[in-house]
Amino acid sequence: MTEKKQIQTKEAQEALDSINEMKYAGLKRVLPTPISIWLGAILGILIGTQIALLGAEIRTYNTILIVLIVIMVIAIINKTQSTGVSERILFSKRTIIISLLCIIPLYFLSIISGQYLNNHFEYNWAPVVIGSFFTIGIWSLMIGASRSYNKKLNTSRR
Amino acid sequence: MVNSKFDPIIHAPNRLQICALLAPLDQVEFRVIREELDVSDSVLSKHIKHLEDVGYINQKKSKVNGRSRRWFHLTDKGRSSFELHVEELKRIVSDL
């Protein structure tokens, strides 16, 4: 008798139930906690503030903002590592590198645009609006990721 | 063409649970696997070694706050075998 024949339907169903249970447990662990969502939101606000201030050519608080951004990034990494699981990113390494290479110029472009609009057209509100867009963008990504995990979790529960 | 294959290595309850836990994730720490499976360190190590020997999972070591941690992930071979095994289980269930 082959191994395929030996396995009973009941045993197969139990195995499938066990698989679903473990998949659900794993996904539940990567679900962003309210603390990590808040950390992400604070990071977004800090980056947005930095863009707005640099756009308005106010460099007084730049050092403290950089220190706070680094602290927030370390806090987020520590929080993620403390969960003991890391999410599966379905994008290829190439896509991630290209995305990063696009985000960095976008960051500097935002600052330069703010400075240009402020200096040449005297649009004093421009750096604030650009900074706010950046903050909203980061916040939207956080919420999007959180919703996507919730969706995955609900799918695996069924 | 049948896209399913029963895998006796994966089918052992604890190993099946390890693969199921690793499947939707990138990496999982030893401590988390032990907590989810509710087994001792030695039992878990034995099953992990078995899966590592056949090339289904790999481990990475990292230091967090000065403490060494072991992270595990499914290899492409392991992921493919696990998916084929799940398909086979589904086929068995749906046959009746």
Q: Which DSSP string do the residues of B34-90 spell out, in sequence order?
A: HHHHT--HHHHHHHHHHHHHTTSEEEEEEEETTEEEEEEEE-HHHHHHHHHHHHHHH
Structure tokens, A26: 């794993």
pLDDT at A132: 94
pLDDT at A121: 84
Interface of A with B (CB under 8 A): 3-4, 7, 9, 12-13, 15-16, 18-23, 25-27, 29-30, 78, 81-89, 152, 156
Residue B31: pLDDT above 60? Answer: yes
Task: Round the average pLDDT of chain B to a whole number and report it.
Answer: 91
B54 touching A, CB under 8 A?
A: no
pLDDT at A6: 58
- Extract the residue ranges of chain A whose pLDDT is less than 70: 1-7, 90, 157-158
- Read off the DSSP letter of residue A117: H
pLDDT at A7: 60
pLDDT at B52: 96
Q: Please determine, for the modelled complex, whether the ipTM score is greater than 0.85.
A: yes
List chain A residues with CB under 8 Å of B59: none
Inter-helix orientation angle B41-53/B13-22, to 10°: 80
Position with higher pLDDT, A31 vs B36: B36
* 3-class DSSP assignment, residue A63: helix
Cβ pairs bridging A and B (under 8 Å) = 85
List chain B residues with CB under 8 Å of A27: 24-25
List chain B residues with CB under 8 Å of A89: 26
pLDDT (mean) for B40-44: 95
pLDDT at A108: 93
B4 touching A, CB under 8 A?
A: no
> Measuring CA to CA, which residue among A137, A97, A132, A1 is closest to residue B6?
A1
pLDDT (mean) for B20-45: 94
Instruction: Check: CB of residue A43 under 8 Å from CB of residue A72.
Output: yes
pLDDT at B5: 85
- Between A12, A81, A152, which is nearest B93 by CB? A12
Residue B1: pLDDT above 70? Answer: no
Residue with token string 């197969």: A12
Position with higher pLDDT, B54 vs A83: B54
pLDDT (mean) for B44-73: 91
- The reported pTM is 0.78
B68 confidence band (pLDDT: 50, 70, 90): confident
Closest alpha carbon within chain A to B70: A84
Quote the minimal CA–CA distance from A114 to chain B in Å. Answer: 39
Inter-helix orientation angle A93-120/A126-157, to 10°: 150
Gap between the Cα atoms of A49 and A56, Å rounded = 10
List chain B residues with CB under 8 Å of A21: 20
